[in-house]
Amino acid sequence: MTVLILIVVALIAIILYLYFYRQRGKTTAYHPYLESLIALLENDDDLAMKRLKEAVNIDSDLFDAYLRLGDLYRKKGDAARAMQIHQSLTARPTLKKHEEKKLYYALAQDALDASRPNRAISFLKEIVKIDKKETNAYKLILRIYEDMRNYSDCINVYEEGVFKSKDENRRAFYYASLARDKMEKLPEGDQEGEKEVLNLLRKSLRIASDSIAGTYYMANFYERENDPKKAREHYLKIINQHPDYAFLIIPHLEKVSFELGSFNDIIPIYEKITTQHPKNFSVAFALADLYEKKSDVDAAREVYLKLVELFPRSALPKIRLLKIKTEDETLLSALDEIEENFCGQEYKCSNCGNTRSDFSFLCEKCHAIESFAPVL
């Protein structure tokens, strides 16, 4: 009996000791943790890291401290170590839903910083498994696929995800871009491949009949297929429905019109657009260029003068006016050189101001579509 009492007393003593020991551990771990939070607020990352390490050494249950410690390693440029710390947390069985989501967001960011976009997507997909309504995770997945120019997966995410008010122009853009990518890799005479491209382009235009990307690539497709008539129809559709995008199609339209023997129809088309949209630089400039080719110098000069008035910062119409004025061969070749080397076209995103030297339907900075226009 005495032995039994002794055993019970010993057991109680052990339980009490363990309980108080843990409590004391937790209390002391909070001090360095609190100090680390203050250091983070004061942007003292080194001190924060030191205190976070102390905190997790005292109490390895502190999820938030581990998470922040991993984040700090990432911030310092050590994405591999960050991922290692964050990954070690995934094995914890006691994580709450919101903690798990936080953890996978951190892991996705680690993977992105380590230039492993596919890994980032797999972490974000874990979040979607936990919470199907997590719109931010879907948005991030879509952005990563856009960065990777993986349009077939953009379509999958966009059509199956939680994008409530779907932007049909964006969906059409994905189909058009997927078609363009396939078209670029298409070997000559691959009829099955051509059919697939055409179907994707048709789908793009069924989704949004006025999609600029859809219409443009459809025109490119017909041009490639030696069908200048259908190519011209689509190029005309762009210049008539989206005259701001005329800059994209002018050389193509002139080429297919020449092939069809309808080059003379172009001047009236440009004249009509210039009358309706006097500030359309690309069309007016192309019109003046054609007047010059037809040796109608007076008409060309008039258009260039108008452009100088409307776009005082643009050098191109001024150079053209100088060229018209002179017959001096040396001066003319110098002006040609200036036009060729110093008037290179730049494009600017109307949404975020990002500039690039070649045209793109997708802004890599802000992810807007159909937002680039020539810098004048």
> Per-residue contact track with Zn ion, 301 to 340, x per CB under 5 A?
----------------------------------------
Q: Which is nearer to Zn ion, 249 or 362 (CB)?
A: 362
Q: Whose Cβ is closer to Zn ion: residue 106's or residue 363's?
A: 363
Torsion of CA 285, 287, 289, 292, to 10 degrees: -140
- The residue (of 308 and 368) whose beta carbon lies closer to Zn ion is 368
Whether 156 and 195 have beta carbons less than 8 Å apart is answered as no
Distance of CA 187 to the CA centre of its chain: 28
Query: Exposed (0-12), middle (13-18) or buried (19+): which is 295, by Cβ within 10 Å?
Result: exposed
- Closer to Zn ion by Cβ: residue 186 or 368: 368
Q: How near is the Cβ of 147 to Zn ion at its closest, in Å? A: 13
Residues within window 250-309 making contact with Zn ion, judged by CB under 5 A: none
Binding mask 29-68 for Zn ion (x = CB under 5 A): ----------------------------------------
- Minimal distance, residue 159 CB to Zn ion, in Å: 24
Phi, psi dihedral angles at 373 (to 5 degrees) = -135, 155
DSSP string, 272-300: HHHHH-TT-HHHHHHHHHHHHHTT-HHHH
Cβ proximity of 237 and 246 under 8 Å? no
Cβ-Cβ contacts under 8 Å for 95 (sequence gap 6 or more): 63, 89, 103
Minimum Å gap between C-beta 75 and Zn ion is 26
Q: How far is the CB of 19 from Zn ion (least distance, A)?
A: 58
- The window from 149-157, 287-295, 305-313, 341-349 that contacts Zn ion (CB under 5 A) reads 341-349
Which span (189-197, 273-281, 290-298, 343-351) binds Zn ion, by CB under 5 A? 343-351
- Residue 81 or 348 having the CB closest to Zn ion: 348
**CA proximity to 95, closest of 134, 126, 58, 51:** 126
Rounded to the nearest whole angstrom, what is the least distance from the CB of residue 354 to Zn ion in the complex? Answer: 4
- Nearest-approach distance from CB 213 to Zn ion, in angstroms: 16
Give strand pairing partners of 372.
349
C-alpha span between 265 and 269 (Å, rounded): 7
First-last CA distance in the chain = 99
Site for Zn ion in 89-118 (CB under 5 A): none
Whole-angstrom CA distances from 313 to 4, 47, 198, 254, 316 are 99, 52, 42, 27, 9
Nearest residue (CB) to Zn ion, 122 versus 354: 354
CB of 239 to Zn ion, least distance (A): 24
Number of residues that bind Zn ion (CB under 5 A): 8
Q: Which of residues 350-369 bind Zn ion (CB under 5 A)?
A: 351-352, 354, 363, 365-366, 368
Q: Going by DSSP bridges, is the β-strand pair 355-356/347-349 parallel, antiparallel, or unpaired?
A: antiparallel
- Taking the least distance from each CB to Zn ion, the nearer of 15 and 366 is 366
Shorter beta-carbon distance to Zn ion: residue 288 or 363: 363
CA distance 111 to 117: 6
Distance CA 211, CA 233 (A): 15
Residue type, 4: L
Rule CB under 5 A: say whether 349 interacts with Zn ion: yes
CB of 154 to Zn ion, least distance (A): 17
- In the complex, the smallest distance separating the C-beta of residue 345 from Zn ion, rounded to whole angstroms, is 17
Nearest to Zn ion of 49, 363 (CB atom): 363
Residue ranges binding Zn ion (CB under 5 A): 349, 351-352, 354, 363, 365-366, 368
